[in-house]
């Protein structure tokens, strides 16, 4: 049982690995197609710029590995920029195409509101459609603090995939989505204390 942490040069790979180590979850930082596809779960982390990330992913042919992995139905977690990369396009710097696994686009926080960007710090996640959502990962979570660091947010075309939303000075954005075997967080569970670690514990239960 190994978790692949997909390496495309993003800078928080080691934070994620540290976190898995603490939970005694075996993981490997890799960009090898074979290793990724044989793993029990895969994590697409991310801190960095969208364009640079997509460039690296294509150069390393990781887009192909990600598509193939997701087809297997095994758990696929995406964090922060990793979440944004799953969508069709981003307006960061110039227009960039994403992996297109989920429909929708990535936009700058705030719209025409005068907010401090990036949004950095602790904020709450609130479940939407509580009755219909019962994610394994966010079971018993609502109104919990998570750590955010981002300038962009995802705007999914299909509202039904939205799991939680977050309010940043009255600017409300999607803070997690779940679609089939894909779970993606705008916040950093690996940096969110015990509540964050629990998300990985839930992943552990799912694959063991």
Binding stretches for other proteins (CB under 8 A): 9, 11-12, 14-15, 18-19, 21-22, 47-49, 52, 81, 114, 116-118, 120-124, 145, 147, 149-151, 167-169, 188, 190-194, 196-197
In whole angstroms, how close is the CB of 167 to other proteins at the nearest point? 5
Element (H, E) at 158: none
Which residue's CB is nearer to other proteins, number 64 or number 193?
Answer: 193
Told to judge if 80 belongs to the known catalytic residues of this protein, a careful annotator would answer: yes
Q: Return the DSSP state at 115.
A: -
In whole angstroms, how close is the CB of 90 to other proteins at the nearest point? 13
Residue 129 φ then ψ, to 5°:
45, 55
- Residues in a beta bridge with 176: 164, 185
In whole angstroms, how close is the CB of 38 to other proteins at the nearest point? 25
- The CA dihedral of 76, 79, 186, 155, to the nearest 10 degrees, is -60
Which residue's CB is nearer to other proteins, number 11 or number 72?
Answer: 11
- Is-cis flag, bond preceding 141, omega within 30? no
Residue 35 φ then ψ, to 5°:
-65, -45
Tokens of 161: 């995939």
Sequence length of the chain is: 208
Told to judge if 88 belongs to the known catalytic residues of this protein, a careful annotator would answer: no
Which residue's CB is nearer to other proteins, number 117 or number 207?
Answer: 117
Told to judge if 190 belongs to the known catalytic residues of this protein, a careful annotator would answer: yes
In whole angstroms, how close is the CB of 157 to other proteins at the nearest point? 25
Provide the annotated active-site residues: 80, 188, 190
């Amino acid at each position: 049982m190994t978790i692949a942490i997909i390496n495309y040069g993003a800078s928080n790979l080691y934070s994620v690995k540290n976190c898995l180590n603490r939970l005694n979850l075996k993981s490997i930082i890799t960009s090898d197609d074979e290793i990724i596809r044989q793993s029990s779960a895969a994590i697409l982390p991310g801190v960095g710029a969208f364009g640079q990330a997509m460039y690296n992913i294509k150069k390393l042919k990781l887009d192909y590995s990600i598509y193939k992995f997701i087809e297997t139905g095994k758990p696929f977690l995406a964090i922060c920029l990793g979440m944004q990369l799953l969508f069709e396009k981003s307006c960061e710097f110039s227009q960039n195409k994403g992996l297109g696994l989920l429909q929708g686009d990535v936009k700058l926080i705030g719209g025409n509101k005068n907010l401090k960007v990036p949004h950095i710090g602790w904020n709450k996640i609130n479940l939407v459609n509580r009755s219909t959502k019962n994610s394994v990962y966010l079971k018993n979570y609502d109104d919990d603090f998570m750590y955010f660091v981002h300038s962009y947010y995802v705007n999914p075309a299909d509202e039904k995939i939205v799991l939680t939303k977050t309010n940043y000075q009255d600017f409300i954005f999607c803070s997690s989505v779940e679609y089939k075997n894909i779970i993606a967080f705008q916040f950093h569970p690996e940096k969110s204390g015990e509540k964050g670690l629990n998300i990985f514990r839930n992943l552990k239960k799912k694959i063991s």
